[in-house]
Amino acid sequence: MKLTLTLLASVAMISSAYAYDPYGNNYSKSGNGYRGYNSNTGSEWSARSSGGTTYGTDSRGNNWQYNNNTGTYYNHGTGETRYRR
């Protein structure tokens, strides 16, 4: 859970065209959108931000959303909900 919330917070703060984190994630930014690749697992994902919400697709193709103000994450494909503590 902490990894996912850390990852989402990292995505929200990317300002350069390419960024990397210590978990093996490689990010690229284009407009309001992001694409990611994890070199440790080979998984790919995407996200875009609009207002106070970040939307995306996880490595399994599930749609998810994260409310940047409340810290609430919801995965529409799995039904998983997470809260920032």
- Supply the pLDDT for residue 76: 96
- Supply the pLDDT for residue 77: 95
- Supply the pLDDT for residue 79: 96
- Supply the pLDDT for residue 10: 52
- Supply the pLDDT for residue 16: 52
Question: Which residues lie across from 37 on neighbouring strands?
Answer: 26, 44
Contact call for residues 73 and 4 (beta carbons, < 8 A): yes
The pTM for the full model equals 0.64
* Residues of the chain below pLDDT 50: 1-6, 9, 12-15
Nearest to 75 by CA among 61, 63, 60: 63
H/E run at residue 3: helix 2-13
Task: Write down the domain spans for the chain.
Answer: 2-83
